[in-house]
Amino acid sequence: MVDRQPVVARPWWLKLWSMQKSTTPINGHIEAEGLVKRYGDVTALDGLDLTVPEGTVLGLLGPNGSGKTTAVSILTTLIQSDGGHAVVAGADVAANPSEVRRRIGLSGQAAAVDENLTGFENLEMIGRLYHLGRKPAVERARELLERFSLTDAADRLAKGYSGGMRRRLDLAGALVAEPPVLFLDEPTTGLDPRSRNELWAVVDELVERGRTVLLTTQYMEEADTLADDIVVMDKGRRIAQGTADELKDLVGGERIEISVAFENEIPEARRILAGLAEDAPRVSNRTLTASVVGGAAKLPAALRAMDDARLTVTDVGLRRPTLDDVFLSLTGRTAEAAAVHLEVAAPGEAPVLEEVA
């Protein structure tokens, strides 16, 4: 059940001066229960539960404003929640934020590198602020620059770096202290495909070393490639959870898209497509879309049938579900979906995919 007990906030001056020593052992676990965050009338997080077992990657998937960054900000102690509680790497984020900071690395959406410092200076500064000591901080900076293929650019100001280089430098910054838990907030948003692939390869390597990663993304493909488990968020709540395949199955797997030239061809096209598809074809602007199983065989079959019926096909395609599709199916079919949710989900608890499906 969701714990909605508000965390008693201690006065800021007490937090400022009180010395906190953690006795909890370091582990790679993230556990959040009933996180709530409000900004005035806007509820950014509405009772979010998350569990990330040690050594796994959880993808938080959702559109802008769904609460992903707010969740990361609470878990990384940047902001305080208005309710619920969370333990990261063995330390409580509200009671012992300084201990949490020692055990995590954060690579943010804004790519927080200092433009007026060189790549080396950026990493060395972070190492010294983790209190590694001057010499180890220098060595660690060199090592990370090497590992992220930035050695050649090490002594250039970061303002001259490309988008991909900045992200790599930012990610390297999150790894300076070898933290067991890593938060990546939209690591590839705005990157070109090549830089994105490079960054994915780096994250893959980190995961192979047994690091726990919480990743936020707007891209289904990214969650698919990197995450073991995906949580879909909407309006500050978890609306589904499962592996990438489970989520795609929920949406209906692959879909065929066929466009015809004339309005009066739509009924016949719809009839043909309905015979091959798993669900009723949807029509928008002379384009018909329907979910199929085994699309590679169904697509030519559909084309042949349309050709036989003398339909003018202007465009055709087979595509995997996108975040939009997952979203449409989770939130778009509000009437029936909501009814199902009400039946299976306990009050105050986000419905989980297994229960919906």
Partner 1 sequence: MGRLTLALGDGVIVAQRNMRKITRQPELLVAVLIMPLVFVFLFSYVFGSAIEIEGGSYREFLIGGAFVMMLTFGSTFTGIGLADDIQKGIIDRFRSLPMSRGAVVFGRTASDVIYNVLSTIVMAGAGYLVGWRINNGFGSALLGFGLVLLFAYAFSWIMAYLGLKVRSVEAINNAGSLVIFPLTFVANTFVPTDGFPSALRTFAEWNPVSTVAHAARVQFGNIPETTPDPTAWPLENAALYSLGWVAAILAVFVPLSIRAFQQTATSN
Residues that bind partner 1 (CB under 8 A): 12-13, 15-16, 19, 39, 44, 64-65, 69-70, 73, 76-79, 98, 101-102, 104-106, 108-117, 121, 125-126, 128-131, 157, 173
C-beta of 164: minimal distance to partner 1 in Å? 17
Cα–Cα dist 176/126, whole Å:
7
Question: Which of 170/325 has CB closer to partner 1?
Answer: 170
C-beta of 223: minimal distance to partner 1 in Å? 20
CB distance 130 to 88 below 8 Å: no
Identity of the amino acid at 72? V
Question: Which of 71/306 has CB closer to partner 1?
Answer: 71
The distance from CA 196 to its chain's CA centroid, rounded to whole angstroms, is: 14
C-beta of 197: minimal distance to partner 1 in Å? 24
Cα–Cα dist 306/285, whole Å:
18
C-beta of 154: minimal distance to partner 1 in Å? 15
C-beta of 213: minimal distance to partner 1 in Å? 15
Cα–Cα dist 150/166, whole Å:
10
Q: Is 25 left (phi over 0), alpha (psi -120 to 50) or beta?
A: beta
The single-letter DSSP state of residue 107 is E
Question: Which of 129/357 has CB closer to partner 1?
Answer: 129
Question: Which of 55/65 has CB closer to partner 1?
Answer: 65
Burial of 349 (0-12, 13-18, 19+ CB in 10 A): middle
Token duo for residue 249 = 């199955």
Question: Which of 40/267 has CB closer to partner 1?
Answer: 40
